[in-house]
Amino acid sequence: MSYETILLDKREAVGIITLNRPKAMNALNNQLMDELTAALRDLEGDDEIGCILITGSDKAFAAGADIKQMADKSYRDVFMEDFISANWEEASRVRKPIIAAVAGYALGGGCELAMMCDFIIAADTAKFGQPEITIGVIPGAGGTQRLTRFIGKSKAMDMVLTGRHMDAAEALASGLVARVVPADDLLDVALDAAEKIAGFSRPAVMIAKESVNRAYETTLNEGMRFERRVFHSLFAFEDQSEGMAAFIEKRRPQFKNR
Ligand code: CO8
């Protein structure tokens, strides 16, 4: 499949999706979201791929949902087409890990998309925000929910009610992003992390991701029980004996993803 609003590149075991609407600050229109969904499904189904990277340009990861495409919609339109739910959540459904590499603006739906990824590596130029209030609406793809869980109520209220931007240093201090790196190093650092993850046992990686996500969905006790069960399940994979044997024999493990 050929894409017009994203670039899809496969570098060994890493799938790289670059949002690519430079004239519109990578605003997320329907076509882009459809193409992003198709690319994510492609990478999820590709046995060679162990980790996914989503990035944008130097100026913008994404400046939000496409306001020009939304402006004339009526309540009937958004209700009947169930606006956004059709494919906006795809990134959060993928079982392989996804890293968001963010430079420049990640606003509105752009910030929400970054938060659907498993973690965010930010350039020192990154700016995050949920400015929907400034155009008469509110976040609609997790900005009031995921952001609140990541940075807490007080800061989330500040961001959602004032629409102000948060710079990379504040995003790091708030727990929204995992790391901040110089803009010139962003892709190298993100790719390094993705390659590292893709080199581990895929079942272990996918189960680790599922288990961390469980912490957001359940009580501590249930989460602990879930973790123990899936920990046990890893002993059903050859990669467990290979990983442990390699440690004991002081050599690199040769994971076979089975
Ligand atoms: N939608 C459509 N076009 C956009 C968007 C956007 N979100 N953001 C920027 N653009 C366009 C501009 O209109 C402009 O186009 P043109 O050259 O044709 O006038 C071009 O990109 C360049 O933008 P600017 O000239 O504004 O560039 P600046 O450097 O001056 O400013 C900003 C950059 C700060 C990013 C500014 O463009 C801005 O504030 N953008 C809007 C940010 C925003 O409000 N985002 C929230 C959108 S609402 C949302 O995301 C709701 C999500 C709900 C769930 C998803 C539903 C689908």
Q: Which of 67, 147, 167 to mutate to test the pocket of ligand 1 (most atoms within 8 A of CB)?
A: 67
SS3 (DSSP) at 72: coil
Domain ranges in the chain are 6-198, 201-249
Dist. CA 104–CA 177, nearest whole Å: 14
Q: Is the CB of 56 under 6 A from ligand 1?
A: no
Reduce the DSSP state of residue 53 to 3 states and report it. Answer: strand
| 65 noted as active-site residue | yes
In this predicted structure, what is the pLDDT of residue 1? 77
Which tokens is 215 given?
């912490």
Query: Which residue's CA lies nearest to atom 10 of ligand 1?
Result: 24
Quick one: pLDDT at residue 88?
A: 86
- At 210 the three-state DSSP class reads helix
Q: Which run of H or of E encompasses 181?
A: strand 179-181
| Predicted-complex ipTM score | 0.97
Ligand 1 atom with minimal separation from the 108 CA: 50
CATH fold of 6-198: 2-enoyl-CoA Hydratase; Chain A, domain 1 (3.90.226)
Residue 108 near ligand 1, beta carbon < 6 Å: yes
Q: What pLDDT sits at residue 248? A: 98
Residue 109 half-sphere exposure toward CB, CA atoms < 13 A: 24
For this structure, is 4 an active site residue?
A: no
At 135 the pLDDT is: 98
User: Helix, strand, coil: what percent of the chain each, to 5?
Assistant: 50, 15, 35
- Longest Cα–Cα distance in the chain: 65
Four-residue CA torsion sign, 205, 209, 215, 218: negative
Is residue 120 packed enough to be buried (19+ CB in 10 Å), middle (13-18) or exposed (0-12)? buried
Ligand 1, atom 44: nearest CA belongs to which residue? 131
**Contact indicator for 202, 210 with CB cutoff of 8 Å:** no
93 and 44 in contact (C-beta within 8 Å)?
Answer: no
Each of the 258 residues of the chain gets a pLDDT tens digit; together they read 799 999 999 999 999 999 999 999 999 999 999 999 999 999 999 999 999 999 999 999 999 999 999 999 999 999 998 887 668 889 999 999 999 999 999 999 999 999 999 999 999 999 999 999 999 999 999 999 999 999 999 999 999 999 999 999 999 999 999 999 999 999 999 999 999 999 999 999 999 999 999 999 999 999 999 999 999 999 999 999 999 999 999 999 999 988
Nearest CA to ligand 1 atom 19: 24
The alpha carbons of the chain give a radius of gyration, in whole angstroms, of: 19
Q: Indicate whether residue 106 lines ligand 1 (CB < 6 A).
A: no
State the distance from the centre of ligand 1 to the C-alpha of 110, rounded, in angstroms: 10
- 200 Cβ inside 6 Å of ligand 1: no
Residue whose token pair is 């995921």: 146
Fold for the domain defined by 201-249: Lyase 2-enoyl-coa Hydratase; Chain  A, domain 2 (1.10.12)
Per-residue pLDDT at 83: 83
Q: Give pairs for 39-43: CB < 8 Å, separation 24+.
A: 39/3, 39/6, 39/8, 39/15, 40/90, 40/91, 40/94, 40/98, 41/90, 42/1, 42/8, 42/15, 43/8, 43/10, 43/15, 43/17, 43/94, 43/96
> For ligand 1, is residue 97 a contact (CB within 6 Å)?
no
Concerning whether 48 is annotated as a catalytic residue, the answer is no
Rounded distance, CA 195 to CA 189, Å? Answer: 10
Task: Catalytic residue, from 65, 123, 168, 193: name it.
Answer: 65
